[in-house]
A and B are shown apart, each in its own frame.
Chain A
Amino acid sequence: MLNRQGRPTTPGEAAPSDHKTFTGNKALSQIEPLIFETGRLETTGVDYEAPKSFTSRLGGFERKSEIGLPGLSEPEAMRHYVRLSQKNYGIDTGLFPLGSCTMKHNPRVNEKIARMPGFSDVHPLQPVSTVQGALEVMHTLSHWLLELTGMDAVALSPKAGAHGELCGMMAIKAAIAAKGEAATRNVVLVPDSAHGTNPATAALIHFVVKPVPVREDGTVDPAVVASLAGPDTAAIMLTNPNTCGLFEKDVVAIADAIHAAGGYFYADGANFNAIVGKARPGDLGVDAMHINLHKTFSTPHGGGGPGAGPVVLSELLAPFAPVPFVRHTDDGMQLVESVDEAANHGAHAFGRMTAFHGQMGMYVRALSYMLSHGADGLRQASEDAVLNANYVRACLADLMSLPYGNRPCMHEVLFDDAWLKDTGVTTLDFAKAMIDEGYHPMTVYFPLVVHGAMLIEPTESESRASLDLFIATLRDLAMAVKRGETERFTGAPYHAPVRRMDETRAARSPVLKYTPPQPILQAAE
C-alpha cells in the first residue's frame, strides 16, 4: 500500500530479524561508548566566567599533573546518559519481583516534594533556628515509625539497612557494656536464612556469630534458640517476616528465650512491608529493628541507593541511641549533636553513625509516602502485597516446587529448584529467560537455606492483569523446561542489550577503570 505521497505504508517482504546493521545499533538499542572514548580533555559542558585575578593561597599545593578526565558538551552528555538509561530495567519498565528488595512503585510527588528548596537546598549546619521545618520532618517521621512499630525510640541517622543493623547492634553492645557484661556476652545467634548483612554486621563489631539452623518448615525453632542461648549470648538477629517469606510464628517464644538468657532481640526489618498496620514489632518482644525506608516506604532504589535505615529501639535500648537526635521543646525543635549534650538529657548515646543528621532526602520522601497512604492505605498496601504473593504462589504451585509446602506466605513466595532437577536448566538460566520475556528476574540463590532459591516479591503495586500475564509467562517457561527446550534457557538472554555476561572473567583479571590505549611505540631506529 502506498499513501498519497507514494510512501509505502505496509511492510514488503520481511527480512530475517537478526539482520546486521552498519552501526551495530538495533534501532532504539544503541551501542554507547564510555565517555572517555568520546569526550575531549579541553571540552566542558558548563560555562563559567574566568575568575578575576587574585593571589593564590594554595601554599604551593597547586595540582601540576593533568587530571585526565574529558568533558562533554551538554547535548552530548544528555544523549550519552539517556542511552545508558535505556539499557536499564526499572520498576517503571515492568514487574520487578526481586524478593527481599521490595520494588514497589515510587510515587513522583515524593520526588517533587524532596526537591522543594526548603528541603533539598538546606545545609545541615545552618543555625537551628533556620531549619525548624526540617527538624519537624524528622520529628514527624519518628512519630509515624514509632506508632507503626510500637517501639519507644528511633535513631534516624543510619544510611541504609546494613547501617541500621550496625546501629542497632552497637546499641546492644553499649547496653551490654553498661551492665558490665562486655567481656562475657559476645555471641550473636544468626539463623542460616539470614541476609548476609546480618552476620557481616555482627562480625564487624567483634561479635562471634553462631549460626542457628532453620527447621523443616522454614522458620526458627524457639527450642533450638533456647538451647543455643546462654550467658555468652548478646543477641539474636532474626528477620521477620523471614527471608523465606514466612512469618516466624514462634517469634514471641524466641524473644522470651533470648531475653531469659539475658540477650537482646534484634529484628531485621527489611520485610516490615508485609505487616505494617497488621502487627507491631514492639508487641513481639523486639529490642531493636531497622526499617529500610527504601523498601517499605518506597524511596527509590536508584540503582543501588541511596537508602535510609532508621532503627527503632525498645525502652531498654533507647538511652543508648546515637547522636544526633531531635528534641521537641517549648522553644521549638532542638538538635542534640554531641554525646555530652545527650548526657545532659539523661541519655547514654553510644556515639555517632555518620556526619550530619542522616538521609533527609529520604525522610521527606518516606513521610510523603506515609501521609499519602495514611494508616488505612499502609495497612491495605501490606495486605495487597501479601495477597499478590499468595496469588502467584497459588497459580504456580502445580508447576514449580515450594520447599516448605503449599501454605500461605507473606509478601514474597519462595520456590526452590527441585522442579528443575535433571532438566539441564538452572535457576540462573530460568532467571535469564525471564529477561527475554520482558521481566526482571526474581531474587535468585537467596536465601541460602534452599537449593537454587527463587524468591518472588510482586509487591502491592501490581494489578491483577499484570500478575496474570506474569503468571502465564512463568507457566509457559516452566512448561518449556518440562518439554526440554533447554536452549531457550541456557543461552538466554537473547533479546537484552547484551547477552549473558562472563562474570568469571571479570573477577579473574579485574579491570576496574578505563585506561587509554597505549600509543603504538615507534619501532626502534
Chain B
Amino acid sequence: MRYLPLTPDDRAGMLAKIGVDHIDALFADIPSDRLLKHLPTLPLHKGEIEVERVMGRMASRNVSASSVPFFVGAGAYKHHVPATVDHLIQRSEFLTSYTPYQPEIAQGTLQYLFEFQTQVAALTGMDVANASMYDGSTGCGEAVLMAHRITKRNKAVLSGGLHPHYADVVHTLSQMAEAECVTLAPDVSGREDILSQIDGTVSCVVVQTPDFFGNLRDLRAIADKCHANGALLIAVFTEVMSLGLITPPGEMGADIVVGEGQSIGNALNFGGPYVGLFATKSQYVRQMPGRLCGETVDADGTRGFVLTLSTREQHIRRDKATSNICTNSGLCTLAFTIHMSLLGQTGLKRVAEINHANAVMLADELDTIKGVSVLNQSFFNEFAVRLPGNASHSVEQLAARHIMAGVPVSRLLPDAGLDDVLLVANTEVNSDDDRKAFVEALKEIL
C-alpha cells in the first residue's frame, strides 16, 4: 500500500521491541467479542489510476459551471480566481500544517491570518475581524448567540430578506439554545417593515444586504432603532464582492457583520468548503467566537504573530467558552487573502463594477421579454425576475439547453407563493455571448 512505509519486517521487529507477538495484543482493551474478525465488506485497495477512474466517472456526471453560460447564485457565486491562488494554497507548508499552536514554526499561517483579519475589517468597515468561521451561515448563527451574550436578552428578529438557509441555521440553533427567533415573511421588494419589530425585548436584528432577492438595504434607520432599544444590528452578506462597490455595513451602524467569503479566492465546490467572515466593534471583541490572531514580539524583540485572547475559547474555557469552534476555514482564508492581495482595492472595485454592469445589462434585456419582469429597485450582481410560469420548470428546460439560468426561489422557499420568481446572478465570468444565449433561450421556451 503506497501510503504505508512499514514493511512486514519492520512490523515484526517493532512488535518484538514492544514485547508482544501479535498486533492484536495492542488492541487487547477492545472487548474481544467486539473485535472485528473479518475485513469490512468494502472493496480492497486500488492504485491511483483506478481511483482517478472511479472518481472521474462521478465527476463527469456533473455539469460544471465553466462549461455553460452560468447565472446561478443565491449565496454562492462563480467568479474567476487567478491561477496564482490555487498554486500557492497547495504549497505543502500551508496545505499540510495545523492550526498554529506553535507560533515559532507557524508564522506563515499567522501572518496571513493577520492580513486576512485586516482585509475583512477594511471591507466590512468594522474595527476587528476573526480568523474565520466555517461559512456565512454558521457565522450568522454564532453572531446571534454573541448578541444574546452581550445584551443578555434572547430574542432575535430575522429579516425576510435573509438567505433562507441562513434563517434555517439560526432557527435551528436558537431552538436548541432555547432562544427566541422571529422571521419576517419573505419580501421580494425589500421594503418590509422591520422597525416595528424592534423593542426593548429584542437582542438583535439580522438584516442581509444585498438581500436574498438582491436588493440593497438601508441599515441606518434599523441601526438607530436597535441602539435606542439596547439591541444590536447584525448585518449579513452572501456576496462579499459587493463590498467593493457598496457602502459597507460598518458605515451604516452595524454592530456585527457576518458573511460568506467564498467569492474571493474560493471555488464553488458544490457548497463547501467556504469561509465565514466575522467582524465587529472593538468593544465586543472578548465576546467574539473563533480564533483571533494578534501581533506581538519574540524573545529578541522581533515582530511576530500568535493566536490570542484564547480565554474565550473552548480549549481554555470549556463549557464557558464563547463558541465550540476549533478547526475553522484555514486554507480558504488563505485563498481569500491571496486573491484579495492580488486585487487590492483597485482590482476589487473594478471587478465589482464589471459584475454590476453585467447584471444591469442582463436585467435590462430580460425586462424587455414579454411576461418577464425584474422585481428589484436596486441590486448588485443578482436580482429577482418574475416569469410567466413556474421558474423551476424554466430552469430545467434551460438546463436541457445547456444554460444554467439561476435559482428558482421556490427551491429555498417552497411555501412563499413565489413559484414564478427566479434569482439570476451575472458575474464577470459570463461573456456577452453567454448573456445573449440566455436571453434568447428564455424567449424561446416561454
Contacts and interface: CB of A to CB of B under 8 A. Distances in A.
Contacts of A364: 55
A115 interface: yes
Interface stretch (A257-265, A277-285, A480-488): A277-285
A435 B306 contact: no
B172 A170 contact: yes
Nearest to A332: B61
A497 B251 contact: no
A350 B169 CA distance: 11
A226 interface: no
Interface string B158-187: 000001011011011101111000000000
B44 A359 contact: no
A86 B42 CA distance: 40
Nearest to B128: A512
Contacts of A469: none
Contacts of A512: 114, 117, 128-129, 285, 292-295, 308
12 contacts: A59-B215, A67-B243, A90-B92, A112-B52, A119-B269, A125-B411, A163-B138, A460-B4, A491-B299, A502-B298, A506-B295, A514-B118
Contacts of A67: 122-123, 243-244, 345, 348-349
B94 A302 contact: yes
Nearest to A194: B318
A112 B324 CA distance: 32
Contact of B119 (A69, A105, A111): A69
A321 interface: no
B222 interface: no
Interface residues of B, number: 213
A510 B105 contact: no
B268 interface: yes
A433 to B, nearest CB: 11
A21 interface: no
Contacts of A440: 98, 102, 105
B246 A304 contact: no
Interface in A63-79: 63-72, 74, 77-78
Interface residues of A, number: 210
A340 B108 CA distance: 46
B121 A513 contact: yes
A90 B93 contact: yes
B208 interface: no
Contact of A65 (B15, B251, B291, B294): B251
Given A44-B346, A305-B132, A68 B269 contact: no
A464 interface: yes
B100 interface: yes
B327 A513 contact: no
Contacts of B345: 41, 66-71
B147 to A, nearest CB: 15
B34 A498 contact: no
Given A41-B344, A464-B14, 20 more contacts: A54-B360, A67-B243, A70-B341, A71-B343, A77-B342, A90-B97, A101-B98, A109-B48, A117-B66, A123-B76, A130-B63, A162-B314, A209-B318, A277-B36, A300-B331, A379-B39, A381-B4, A395-B17, A408-B20, A443-B101
B417 to A, nearest CB: 15
Given A57-B360, A170-B172, A371-B54, A45 B342 contact: yes
Residue in B13, B165, B315 with the greatest tally of chain A CB atoms within 10 Å: B165
A54 B357 contact: yes
B29 A507 contact: no
A52 B357 contact: yes
A303 interface: yes
A71 B30 contact: no
Contacts of A46: 82, 342-343, 347, 351
B46 A374 contact: yes
A247 B27 contact: yes
Interface in A38-96: 39-46, 48-52, 54-72, 74, 77-78, 80-82, 84-93, 96
Contacts of B175: 351
B95 to A, nearest CB: 5
Interface stretch (B192-200, B226-234, B374-382, B437-445): B374-382
